[in-house]
Structure 1
């Protein structure tokens, strides 16, 4: 049965919707499987099953026309694996993702664990600290740039560049425009890093230069592919780590469960990013006419797949808005995407988060949190600042 596509003037990119998104998501889910966003000439897909199905039909819901909301910025961001379809995507993903495979990541598990324990000890001694600047940002910035082999130059700008890159996937609003200077800086930096000798020889990113040398990838693609190692590896992890502190601080009973049974850490992290998905969502373009749960989507339609809504869909999850570290199906979330475009760096993000949560569980009895201030950002759902005290 084909149903009429509902439309709405609701704006998921308004300040109010960004700061408090979950009622808007519920409204979109209740309106239908796909809802036309009048102001953006796009459709929002907000239910879990429909987002999941779209992610697993990459021949219809294509990434090759970009994964942002505006055609202009999609054209500018072309060339990265996230904006490609198989077989080109498969080829580039194999090169970029090689050091991010589980077997490779295991080599660094012990050093990441040691850094996590050192940070937790430092923050316990400090007393009060900021969840974002002192915890969620400082840890990936102490791990990721060294693993990838970035030089010291530019590291103080990585977070600003990552934020601007993700903002540009939303509409061409003031948040996007404000990031244009940072994006210009980033592209100049990546062009310099693509030169021989710019990157550390023992880092993961150097493998891309080697692939260009042997002809596996083109030299022209190097700056864009290096950007795949920079932007996605930081902002989403920062969001997940700060949200973890907030949720465990607000739900001490759930923290007690993790402290009592640290083997819950992987499932607890899944529940954190299910409930507070770091990426609100990305778009796809419909390559051929497609009916999605009864809604006709003609070829050329731009659809916004809302991960943050899907992961709270009451059609999929029991007590969807509750935080439960023992939730049996927490791993079914799509916070990291799914299908051929599932996040390449999710193994690294999990390794960092598991190390920190394990270190906290071993030493911290209670996580005391203040009221969080949330970021105004087009794509990333995250805390901007929040006071925390760790009680031992």
Structure 2
């Protein structure tokens, strides 16, 4: 059989996804990778990379051959004994767990949070204009999801710094460069949530519904571990992913002022702009699947026991799906077909809430800010999973009628 794939020796190639070069400029790496084909095996990492859009969708929708229950990260966690129920399970267990919380993410349910999210967005945009020059990570990218997730879940973290560290460690502990410190931070977060966070939650909130009632249908396990981990996965993942997206969005508008001008002149484009920003600055570089039997993708034969990386950010810039993919275009007609939230049965449960956050913040910033400018050297996070900034110094030019 002819296998339509490429084999890359990571020991002597620049196509190792975890090399410093690839991490420093992931989109250039994705372009080099794509030249080898949509499905590539890297022996040095013992990983299959799926970077083509159509191939990524095929893997994400084929949960029978590409399972989540054996791990969705590069390394299978060894210190965390409980799995994250929504992303680390397969049907039928995954479906039962998802159904228990899905009613909280319907259109009507999410709309009930709009006033609170919009008020938070207004305060954040006001603070940005008042400051004039600031770190967009701290003032915008962290502030929005911090406040929004408290509204959604009822969890009030001990500090913004602790929450940032915990959410960051959630993915980094299971990367090739993950450390014991990352694993300890995750356990610290789960311990705090169980001992301090849960007792302090208000009487009526999503957190209480999950932990006290076992979800809308009461079918989450009664011993508490599944309930705790379901809530923790929503909380921690929602912080890091939306924060990464917002930092990437501000950076994109610094580099593409014409698109910011267009957004300000056409507020009706804000929902589509949010989708284009998700495509252009996808927060997650990759999510993993494992094979239990031989599987096939686009002619490539992938053996049993394989580690398969679905390159979400690469697929969202596949030129076969998105013409001129490295151009930010808030009018792009198929922007919403991006894979930033995944695809298939594991598509991000909280995606409607994340969209509400982004749309609300873009609306407020467009009203108050005429232009974003770079005010210092930005620094990317060393995270090998999440494409985000550690610092992003910017300066804002207030819109006419706005003052510092």
Q: Which of the five TM-score ranges fits, normalised by the shorter chain?
A: over 0.9
Alignment partner of 2:281 out of 258, 276, 285: 276
Instruction: Tell me which residue corresponds to 2:163.
Output: 158
User: Any idea what the Cα deviations from partners look like across 1:291-339, whole Å, max 9, x if unmatched?
Assistant: 2111111222110000011111122211011111111111110011011
How far did 1:77 drift? 5.1
How far did 1:188 drift? 1.5
For 1:83, what is the secondary structure of its paired residue? coil
Say if 1:164 and 1:176, in contact at 8 Å, map to a contact too: no
Alignment partner of 1:187 out of 186, 190, 196: 190
Instruction: Tell me which residue corresponds to 2:212.
Output: 210
How far did 1:283 drift? 0.4
Say if 2:100 and 2:218, in contact at 8 Å, map to a contact too: no
For 1:283, what is the secondary structure of its paired residue? strand
Q: Tell me whether 1:287 sits opposite 2:289 in the alignment.
A: no
For 1:296, what is the secondary structure of its paired residue? strand
For the structure 1 residues 374 and 220, does the alpha-carbon distance in structure 2 shift closer, same or farther, using more than 3 Å as the test? closer
For the structure 1 residues 17 and 73, does the alpha-carbon distance in structure 2 shift closer, same or farther, using more than 3 Å as the test? farther
Stretches of structure 1 lacking an aligned partner (at least 5 in a row): none
Say if 1:68 and 1:170, in contact at 8 Å, map to a contact too: yes
Q: Equivalents in 2 of 1:305, 1:77: separation in Å?
A: 23
Say if 1:60 and 1:287, in contact at 8 Å, map to a contact too: yes
Stretches of structure 2 lacking an aligned partner (at least 5 in a row): 400-404
Q: Tell me whether 1:390 sits opposite 2:396 in the alignment.
A: yes
Instruction: Tell me which residue corresponds to 1:357.
Output: 362
How far did 1:100 drift? 2.3
For 1:35, what is the secondary structure of its paired residue? strand
For 1:85, what is the secondary structure of its paired residue? coil
Q: Equivalents in 2 of 1:101, 1:296: separation in Å?
A: 39
For the structure 1 residues 129 and 292, does the alpha-carbon distance in structure 2 shift closer, same or farther, using more than 3 Å as the test? same
Q: Equivalents in 1 of 2:94, 2:330: separation in Å?
A: 35
For the structure 1 residues 67 and 359, does the alpha-carbon distance in structure 2 shift closer, same or farther, using more than 3 Å as the test? same
Number of paired residues?
A: 389
Alignment of 1:122-161 (within 5 A): 122-153=127-158, 156-161=161-166
Q: Tell me whether 1:35 sits opposite 2:53 in the alignment.
A: no
Instruction: Tell me which residue corresponds to 1:299.
Output: 304
Instruction: Tell me which residue corresponds to 1:379.
Output: 385
For 1:360, what is the secondary structure of its paired residue? helix
Say if 1:127 and 1:390, in contact at 8 Å, map to a contact too: yes
Instruction: Tell me which residue corresponds to 1:46.
Output: 51
Say if 1:15 and 1:376, in contact at 8 Å, map to a contact too: no
Q: Equivalents in 2 of 1:51, 1:4: separation in Å?
A: 15
Q: Equivalents in 2 of 1:27, 1:61: separation in Å?
A: 25
Q: Equivalents in 1 of 2:17, 2:291: separation in Å?
A: 21
Instruction: Tell me which residue corresponds to 2:402.
Output: none
Q: Equivalents in 2 of 1:222, 1:70: separation in Å?
A: 24
Alignment of 1:1-392 (within 5 A): 2-3=2-3, 5-8=5-8, 9=10, 10-73=15-78, 76=81, 78-153=83-158, 156-171=161-176, 173=177, 175-192=178-195, 197-212=199-214, 216-218=219-221, 219-370=224-375, 371-391=377-397, 392=399
- Relative to the length of structure 2, the TM-score reads 0.90
Q: Equivalents in 2 of 1:259, 1:194: separation in Å?
A: 40
The Cα RMSD (Å) is 2.1
How far did 1:98 drift? 3.0
User: Any idea what the Cα deviations from partners look like across 1:121-170, whole Å, max 9, x if unmatched?
Assistant: 22112110111011111122122123311145466422211110111342
Q: Equivalents in 2 of 1:194, 1:120: separation in Å?
A: 28
For the structure 1 residues 287 and 387, does the alpha-carbon distance in structure 2 shift closer, same or farther, using more than 3 Å as the test? same
Say if 1:68 and 1:168, in contact at 8 Å, map to a contact too: no
User: Any idea what the Cα deviations from partners look like across 1:33-81, whole Å, max 9, x if unmatched?
Assistant: 3211222222111111100111111111111111011234497452521
Identify which range, 370-379 or 125-134, moves more after superposition: 370-379
Q: Equivalents in 2 of 1:194, 1:366: separation in Å?
A: 39
Say if 1:66 and 1:74, in contact at 8 Å, map to a contact too: no
